[in-house]
Homo-oligomer: A and B are copies of this chain.
Amino acid sequence: MSLGNVKVLLFDTFGTVADWRGSIARMGERAAREKGVEGVDWDAFARAWRAGYRPGMARVISGERPWTSVDVIHRERLEEILPEFGMDGVFSEAEKTDMNLFWHRLDPWPDSVPGLLRLKQKFLIGPLSNGSLILLSAMAKRAGIPWDFVFSSDTFKAFKRDPAVYLGAIALLGLEPGEVMMTAAHNDDLEAARSHGMRTAYINRPYEYGPDQTKDFQADEDWDVITDTITGVADAIGA
């Protein structure tokens, strides 16, 4: 299958470009040290925080709740888990507001920025993420992620795997579906992208969820590109 007509590469962000688990754990540890809080498993905290994400989105996807940004979903989940981890009342409102911005300051995987800088020479690149616009823009700015544009869930008022996200991105780009490649560490994201005619690149990130990881240890289908890193995507498509 020729990939010669691909013009734009879209990227899932959480897990594919950014290491949310390691980043949140590190920032939590730092915040705890400053407050003199000890004994919290911040890796577990990061995973618990993230675990509120899909149920939070699900209520929006089902229509039970009107459009809600992930920033709001993150904040609500934070309020739930602080007591679960024995930190009820430890952090002030202002500190919790700042903690919620941990998600705006995620670190990329080591291969992400080098790979994206290469891909940017040849293609337009942007995220197609469930993050909010300001989250994705702020994260990119801090980490030097060189997006050409930013597509967020609130661009489309929908979350992946809703077809509105993929079809909306293709329409905004003004391209044919086969001119756009979706890159993700999640097989179901690529399955949705392929169902709409997009090209697909799978990046294996078997450490994304740590002990909670139950899937995406390998490519489940014959994606157009299958690799372990974003630099590997650049290698595969000649960038």
Contact = CB atoms under 8 A, between A and B. Distances in A.
A140 B172 CA distance: 16
Given A141-B148, A149-B149, A150-B150, A173 B133 contact: yes
A124 B141 contact: yes
Interface in A145-170: 147-150, 152, 154-155
A71 interface: yes
Contact of A172 (B147, B155, B171, B175): B155
Report the copy number of this chain in the oligomer.
2
26 contacts: A69-B174, A120-B141, A124-B134, A124-B138, A124-B141, A126-B137, A133-B149, A133-B172, A133-B174, A134-B173, A134-B174, A134-B175, A137-B148, A137-B149, A140-B148, A141-B148, A147-B149, A148-B150, A149-B149, A149-B150, A150-B150, A154-B171, A154-B172, A154-B174, A155-B155, A155-B172
A150 B136 CA distance: 12
Contacts of A133: 149, 172-174
A138 B149 CA distance: 10
B71 A174 contact: yes
A163 B158 CA distance: 22
A71 B138 CA distance: 30
Task: Identify which of A124, A134, A154 gathers the most chain B CB atoms within 10 Å of its CB.
Answer: A134
Task: Identify which of A134, A147, A149 gathers the most chain B CB atoms within 10 Å of its CB.
Answer: A149
Closest 3 CB pairs of A and B: A149-B150, A137-B148, A137-B149
Nearest to A140: B148
A124 B137 contact: yes
A152 B151 CA distance: 12
Interface string A156-198: 0000000000000001111100000000000000000000000
A141 B126 CA distance: 12
B124 A174 contact: no
A227 interface: no
Contacts of A120: 141
